A and B are shown apart, each in its own frame.
Chain A
Amino acid sequence: MLAANSVVLIASIGMTLVFLIGGIDLSISTVISASAVISGLAMAATDSIFIGVLTAIGVGFSFGLINGILIGFFGLTPFITTMATQLIARGIAFVLSQGIAVQGTPYGLMDFGFLSFLGVPAVTWIGLAIVIICIILLTQTQWGRHLMLIGSNRNAARFSGINVRFTEISVYCLSGLLAGIAGFISISNLGNAIPGVGDTLLLLVIGAVVLGGTTMNGGEGSIARTVLGIGLLSVLISGLNLIGIPFYDQLIIQGVLIFIGTWLAMKLSARRH
């Protein structure tokens, strides 16, 4: 459970950062798939986990870079741009894998999937480490401050001498990179690289972010809130599983929760100010 969550968790961190700068990255879901597939193929060819990790990160980063350049440099709309790269990434994942799970992942990877420390799976530790690194990046560095300010008011950022382009491109790169890591972790969770692994995650990822109260307008929200949103969602899901609620009813409850959560977060934010 926790292990599966770290895929969503890592992807949601990327989405949170993109939301905070006032954008959206719909491609996260299928970039997870694409990097899983390509990484799986690379590992099948070389039998090296290290190369697999590098490949996954590289693929994710490349997609992020493409998104970032199109949005930050050429000024295309984030929604359409990432919708298009979402399609492209999915296509690549399916073409390269011929639509089936990639075989031949190294044995060591399964061991890694079962590895745990202090009773907590290693992948969860990785997720936590990424959370902490990103929180530091966002709240303790100038880059993070610039990100928040651009999300709050892009024009004012430009008029204050903040490098809007660089920050914007880099945030999409980071979001892609995190999707790449999430893709790799999905292989270690499932034992295989599945071409459709990320497709259904988009709802969960955006759901977790908005449930945490980070709005799409930019400049308002935090990673900690997203972690809270994920916590809420996963407690809910495991609770519902426990009492035997079928997955389709869980979908209904999730939808309602996302809606009510967003609404409450909006009300609370309005009241605070």
Chain B
Amino acid sequence: MKSTLNSIISKQKWLPIALANMVFAALLAIVSPVFLTLSNFQSMLIQSGVTAIMAIGMTFIIITAGIDISMGAILFFCSALFAQLLQDTQSYWLAFSAAIACATLLGTINGVLVTRFKISPLITTLATYSIYRGMAIHLTGAQNIPVPREMGFLGNGKLFGLPVPIILLIVIFILGVYLLNHTRLGLYAKAIGSSARSANESNLPVTKVTVAVYAIGGMVTGISALILLARVGGLQSGIGIGIEFTVIAAVILGGTKLTGGSGTIVGSVFGAFFLVLIDNGLNLVNASPYIYDIVRGSVLLAAVAVDRLSAKRQESRLIQIKKQRLEHNHATN
């Protein structure tokens, strides 16, 4: 029984975070009567939407053993471009398509730089982080730009009775899961993260796939940017600062390893939920908003520590098995 549970967890790496979500939610439900209301759930889902959508893109990147520090800057650039274009042209379609296209392009540039120059993804995207953020402020002249009220539809509006951000999250989630599990791109991404050497020896399209995952990361960041912009009501200078770390935290909480090779979209989305759940819990106990960071950091540490401990236990179990096999060998000899 115990061993089957272990094997399920080792295959479905998202299960622990899903369980953590449930346990924590149950706890909050006991503590607070407000928690279990539909509106609270909806608002939590909406809150987690931005991070969750970006985490889906980040999962692909981390699965190839890469990382994208520039996501927050892409988010900011995209918001700036959209707000500016909308203000200048009053055309939603132009602003929408330009913003998403641009976000994809910025992601693609990351991918091209990573594959072409072979500098570590961390440094590469740290450099583009600075470049993209500078470009965005340049674009708007460091102005705050409000967006029209009807933009709020994207942030709070409803379609078929469901809030728009949630619909977007569900669509991107389904697409992401399909892409990772049923297409060559997804399998190749895992392969590259598992062993870059083998991927090259097996003639896999390493460059194409790597560029593609960064492009996907850019594109979903663009979508997140518009949702966030709609919710905030306008461009502000602080948008997107540090969000890449929240996104990476969500992915790691979801059971994906920075070393690449494996990971699940479900886990990352649950990871994003969990972060919001924590915020919600802190909110319910009226904690200072400044404490959120401390709790998030501690949760992240706890998660990796637990992961490390279970890996160690797995190791010692393997050693035990080996020992038994050795005894057995000698007994039969």
Do A258 and B304 touch across chains, with their CB atoms under 8 A apart?
no
Number of contacting residues on A, CB 8 A?
45
From A84-92, A117-125, A163-171, the one touching the partner chain is: A84-92
User: What does the 1/0 interface line of B302-323 toward A look like (CB < 8 Å)?
Assistant: 0011001000000000000000
Interface centre among B133, B242, B298, B300 (most CB of A within 10 A): B300
Minimum Cβ distance to chain A for residue B137 (Å): 4
Given contacts A81-B301, A91-B290, A203-B130, contact A249 B123 (CB under 8 A): no
Given contacts A74-B305, A83-B249, A248-B137, contact A88 B130 (CB under 8 A): no
B288 at the interface (CB under 8 A from A): yes
A207 at the interface (CB under 8 A from B): yes
User: What does the 1/0 interface line of B34-68 toward A look like (CB < 8 Å)?
Assistant: 00000000000000000000000000000000000
Do B297 and A84 touch across chains, with their CB atoms under 8 A apart?
yes
A4 at the interface (CB under 8 A from B): no
From A178-186, A221-229, A259-267, the one touching the partner chain is: A259-267
User: What does the 1/0 interface line of B113-138 toward A look like (CB < 8 Å)?
Assistant: 10001111011101111111111111
Q: How far is the CA of A191 from the CA of B135 in the complex (A)?
A: 32
B296 at the interface (CB under 8 A from A): yes
Residue of B nearest to A215 (CB): B120
In the complex, chain A residues whose CB is within 8 Å of the CB of B252: 80
Do B122 and A207 touch across chains, with their CB atoms under 8 A apart?
no
Minimum Cβ distance to chain B for residue A84 (Å): 4
User: What does the 1/0 interface line of A88-100 toward B look like (CB < 8 Å)?
Assistant: 1111101100110
B24 at the interface (CB under 8 A from A): no
Do A251 and B297 touch across chains, with their CB atoms under 8 A apart?
no
A256 at the interface (CB under 8 A from B): yes
B327 at the interface (CB under 8 A from A): no
Residue of B nearest to A266 (CB): B119
Do A95 and B294 touch across chains, with their CB atoms under 8 A apart?
yes
In the complex, chain B residues whose CB is within 8 Å of the CB of A70: 301, 305
In the complex, chain A residues whose CB is within 8 Å of the CB of B294: 87-88, 91-92, 95
User: What does the 1/0 interface line of A198-226 toward B look like (CB < 8 Å)?
Assistant: 01000100110010000010000000000
Minimum Cβ distance to chain A for residue B294 (Å): 3
Q: How far is the CA of A114 from the CA of B219 in the complex (A)?
A: 49
Number of contacting residues on B, CB 8 A?
43
For this complex, 22 residue pairs linking A to B, each with C-beta atoms less than 8 Å apart, are A79-B122, A80-B300, A81-B304, A84-B297, A85-B297, A88-B301, A91-B293, A91-B296, A95-B291, A95-B294, A203-B130, A206-B123, A216-B120, A249-B134, A251-B134, A252-B130, A252-B135, A255-B129, A256-B131, A259-B123, A259-B128, A266-B119
Given contacts A77-B304, A83-B300, A266-B119, contact A251 B131 (CB under 8 A): yes
In the complex, chain A residues whose CB is within 8 Å of the CB of B296: 87, 91
B142 at the interface (CB under 8 A from A): yes
Q: How far is the CA of A206 from the CA of B78 in the complex (A)?
A: 25
Main secondary structure of the interface of A (DSSP, over half): helix
Do B248 and A83 touch across chains, with their CB atoms under 8 A apart?
yes
Q: How far is the CA of A261 from the CA of B245 in the complex (A)?
A: 25
Do A84 and B134 touch across chains, with their CB atoms under 8 A apart?
no
A2 at the interface (CB under 8 A from B): no
Do A258 and B123 touch across chains, with their CB atoms under 8 A apart?
yes
Minimum Cβ distance to chain A for residue B156 (Å): 27
Q: How far is the CA of A79 from the CA of B133 in the complex (A)?
A: 23
Residue of B nearest to A260 (CB): B127
A141 at the interface (CB under 8 A from B): no
B292 at the interface (CB under 8 A from A): yes
B258 at the interface (CB under 8 A from A): yes
Given contacts A76-B305, A248-B142, contact A216 B245 (CB under 8 A): no
Q: Which residues of A contact B (CB under 8 A)?
A: 24, 70, 74-77, 79-81, 83-92, 94-95, 98-99, 199, 203, 206-207, 210, 216, 246-256, 258-259, 262-263, 266
New contact pairs (5) apart from A91-B291, A248-B138, CB-CB < 8 Å: A95-B288, A203-B130, A255-B129, A259-B128, A266-B119
In the complex, chain B residues whose CB is within 8 Å of the CB of A77: 258, 304
In the complex, chain A residues whose CB is within 8 Å of the CB of B291: 91, 95
Q: How far is the CA of A259 from the CA of B123 in the complex (A)?
A: 8
Do B129 and A252 touch across chains, with their CB atoms under 8 A apart?
no
In the complex, chain B residues whose CB is within 8 Å of the CB of A75: 308
In the complex, chain B residues whose CB is within 8 Å of the CB of A203: 126, 129-130
Residue from the list B123, B242, B258 in contact with A262, Cβ < 8 A: B123
Do A255 and B298 touch across chains, with their CB atoms under 8 A apart?
no
In the complex, chain B residues whose CB is within 8 Å of the CB of A80: 252, 258, 300, 304
Q: How far is the CA of A206 from the CA of B117 in the complex (A)?
A: 18
Residue from the list A74, A85, A251, A259 in contact with B113, Cβ < 8 A: A259
In the complex, chain A residues whose CB is within 8 Å of the CB of B293: 87-88, 90-91, 94
Q: How far is the CA of A250 from the CA of B135 in the complex (A)?
A: 10
Minimum Cβ distance to chain B for residue A95 (Å): 4
Do B126 and A83 touch across chains, with their CB atoms under 8 A apart?
no
Do B127 and A94 touch across chains, with their CB atoms under 8 A apart?
no
Q: How far is the CA of A91 from the CA of B295 in the complex (A)?
A: 8
